[in-house]
Structure 1
Amino acid sequence: MSGVISGFTVIFLVVALGYVLGRTGSLGEHASSVLARVVFFVCTPALLIHSLATSDLSVIFSSTLAVASASALIVGGAYALIAWLWLRRGIPEIVIGALSSSYVNSVNLGLPIAIFVLDDASFIAPLLLFQIVFYSPVALATLDLTALSGPRRTSTLRTVLTPLKNPILVGGVIGLVISLVGWTPPQAVMEPLDMLGQASVPLALLTFGLTLTGVAVFKKGESPRRDIALASVMKMAVMPAVAYALARWGFGMTGHALFAQVVIAALPTAQNVLVYATRYQRGEVLARDSALITTLLSIPVIALVAATLA
């Protein structure tokens, strides 16, 4: 449990700093949008290139990848269906909500928990690969096509080329290719990538804190309460249950392996979702409040999982 407490303490301190900076206006009124762009266009692509280029692909392509990806797709798809049929939301809001219900905080909280609770950081690598190489690019391509304003022609060629212009996808593909071919880039190239990549998580957390300034969770008239409640329940209750079912009865996992899969699924919504929502200016309150609520709920949920499965 000390690893869980340590991981959450790190998150809350950095978010709190962002909140204080927002309250004092130290970074200016446009700080959150500027930082979100830095994370989106610079730091996260650098993180993906460095992380994947230095990863062991034999560890990544495993049953953990199958459970993590299937859980996310099932839960995200279920949210999208409910939001479309019941809540009658537009596609951009559905995409942000689906990510809020299934996109796991795999770096700034996932890594500390994998190291200190699961005693094996390799459990996070498959999830990271799925989210950055497939899940994010597909969601961002959808947002590119449906959320960006301004005149544009919709064509088959444009639909095909849109994902190729996304820095998240470009960074993930470059890192994966480097790892596949077994090439080690020069240290003079890897060190700047590592330095920029390490800035991704704290900047995303600072952005999260900045967006909390002057707002209240579930605020009447401003907050899409049903969307947030649905995303939070799907993330903290349905996704761990789906992961348990897939790991236990789909892949025959027991013991520590089963425990690890459920803990990974019980991680809260990643702050990356808020960065994406800010970038496209759709579903920002949904992403922000879902991340905050699931982060708070994940403490007792992971404690319960540890008490029953560890």
Structure 2
Amino acid sequence: MTLAFTVLTIVAPVFALAAIGFAWVRLGLDYDTDFVSRLAMNLAVPCLVFVALAQGDIDPGAAGQVTLATLVTYGAMFAAFRVVCAVLRLDLRTYWAPLVFGNTGNLGLPLALLAFGQVGLGYAVVVFSVTAILQFTLGIWLVSGGGNPLRALREPMVGATLLGALFLWRGWAVPEVALSSLDLVGQMGIPLMLLTLGVAVARMRPQGVLRMGVLSALKVVICAGLALAVGLAFGLDDTALAVMVVQFATPVAVSSYLLAVRYGADAPPVAGLVVVSTVMSVGALPLILAAFV
């Protein structure tokens, strides 16, 4: 009973904020997704990422180890889902990237912070940063059939990641006034992302619920299993291992749907994956967290 209550206290605020965004749209109230998304991804989240790295709550060596483990896990996931797409005869442009990339930002960061504190958030930021860079390079290339991999260099989040990593590696201290200001701006990021997640889910319609349910279940099992195996192989500490598994077990990212729309892939099935996998995560993520808390 105590374990169940602990897990509930971790996941309840996350899904409560998403539920507010969902209800807001269902009540017919306006929500400027474009403005809020730009504010979050171009300002709040970069500040959050920089502060989490620059504060030095994680050891630079451990951060490097998590980065390598994350890259290896993604390599294994790309291979695994290429096989899944071939066996199930799924269109690669539509399904391959969405099955690989999880919602490590909107959902993964809040879960890591609530479950494992600032140290957990630091590890989660590392996984999220690698995810974002890969999704905006290799992911765009897969969805579009030839996107520009240099696009990632124009993303503020990438610059914040590199700068924060430099401060972490060199042990540089950020002036207290600047750090407090950046931290305050960064604190907007998680609530904004969760509200937008709920709004996005409310505006989507699932396509082929049964098929999407099977693919969503496969995603959770494959991603969490590979993350666990790679994390153990790298000898990650308990917190880093838990954060990696939780991050990779997150549902299909809303950004996968946006990229499908922008680059001409078959968007409705991706929207279905986002909706169904997000709903399934309400049950799956607490079970995974229960194994680590």
Q: 1:252 to 1:275 in 2, by over 3 A?
A: closer
Q: 1:102 to 1:23 in 2, by over 3 A?
A: closer
Which residue number corresponds to residue 159 of structure 2? 170
Segments of 4+ moved more than 6 angstroms: 101-104
Q: CA deviation at 1:243?
A: 4.2
Which residue number corresponds to residue 113 of structure 2? 111
Q: CA deviation at 1:95?
A: 1.4
Q: CA deviation at 1:43?
A: 1.9
Q: Which stretches in structure 2 are left out of the alignment for 5+ residues?
A: 262-266
Residue 182 of structure 2 is aligned to residue 193 of structure 1: yes
What letter matches 2:37 in structure 1? A
- Greater CA deviation, 158-167 or 203-212? 158-167
Q: CA deviation at 1:6?
A: 0.7
Which residue number corresponds to residue 225 of structure 2? 241
Q: What secondary structure is seen at the aligned counterpart in 2 of 1:213?
A: helix
Q: CA deviation at 1:75?
A: 3.1
Q: 1:164 to 1:170 in 2, by over 3 A?
A: same
What letter matches 2:245 in structure 1? A
Q: CA deviation at 1:14?
A: 0.7
Which residue number corresponds to residue 119 of structure 2? 122
Which residue number corresponds to residue 24 of structure 1? 27
Which residue number corresponds to residue 138 of structure 2? 142
Q: CA deviation at 1:46?
A: 1.8
Which residue number corresponds to residue 150 of structure 2? 161
Pairing partner for 2:245 from 253, 265, 283: 265
Note the alpha carbon deviations across 1:185-233, whole angstroms, 9 max, x for none: 33443333212221111111111211233656xx4xx247535532433
Q: Is the 8 A contact 2:18 2:197 kept in 1?
A: yes
Q: TM-score, normalised by structure 2?
A: 0.77
Q: Distance in 2 between matches of 1:245 and 1:168?
A: 28
Note the alpha carbon deviations across 1:270-304, whole angstroms, 9 max, x for none: 5792145336635343234323312322223443x
Q: CA deviation at 1:11?
A: 1.2
What letter matches 2:214 in structure 1? A
What letter matches 1:53 in structure 2? A
Q: Is the 8 A contact 1:46 1:193 kept in 2?
A: yes
Q: What secondary structure is seen at the aligned counterpart in 2 of 1:108?
A: helix
The share of aligned pairs that are identical, in percent, is: 15
Q: 1:3 to 1:66 in 2, by over 3 A?
A: farther
Q: Is the 8 A contact 2:219 2:249 kept in 1?
A: no
Give the length in aligned residue pairs. 282
Q: Which stretches in structure 1 are left out of the alignment for 5+ residues?
A: 116-120
Q: Distance in 2 between matches of 1:241 and 1:261?
A: 12
Which residue number corresponds to residue 6 of structure 1? 9
- Greater CA deviation, 58-67 or 44-53? 58-67
Q: What secondary structure is seen at the aligned counterpart in 1 of 2:174?
A: coil
Note the alpha carbon deviations across 1:160-186, whole angstroms, 9 max, x for none: 532211222122112112222333233
What letter matches 2:50 in structure 1? I
Residue 230 of structure 2 is aligned to residue 229 of structure 1: no
Q: Distance in 1 between matches of 2:78 and 2:123?
A: 18
Q: What secondary structure is seen at the aligned counterpart in 2 of 1:100?
A: coil
Q: Is the 8 A contact 1:102 1:234 kept in 2?
A: no
Q: What secondary structure is seen at the aligned counterpart in 1 of 2:109?
A: coil
Which residue number corresponds to residue 201 of structure 2? 212
Q: Is the 8 A contact 1:267 1:298 kept in 2?
A: no
- Greater CA deviation, 123-132 or 257-266? 257-266
Q: CA deviation at 1:147?
A: 4.9
Q: 1:52 to 1:267 in 2, by over 3 A?
A: closer
Q: Is the 8 A contact 1:92 1:143 kept in 2?
A: no
Q: CA deviation at 1:34?
A: 3.4
Q: Distance in 2 between matches of 1:147 and 1:138?
A: 12
Q: Is the 8 A contact 1:204 1:271 kept in 2?
A: no
Q: Distance in 2 between matches of 1:63 and 1:180?
A: 13
Pairing partner for 1:183 from 172, 177, 181: 172
Note the alpha carbon deviations across 1:110-146, whole angstroms, 9 max, x for none: 222224xxxxx535533431330x2320211234446
Q: Is the 8 A contact 1:224 1:285 kept in 2?
A: yes
Q: 1:123 to 1:39 in 2, by over 3 A?
A: closer
Q: 1:166 to 1:276 in 2, by over 3 A?
A: farther
Q: 1:203 to 1:182 in 2, by over 3 A?
A: same
Q: CA deviation at 1:260?
A: 7.0
Q: TM-score, normalised by structure 1?
A: 0.73
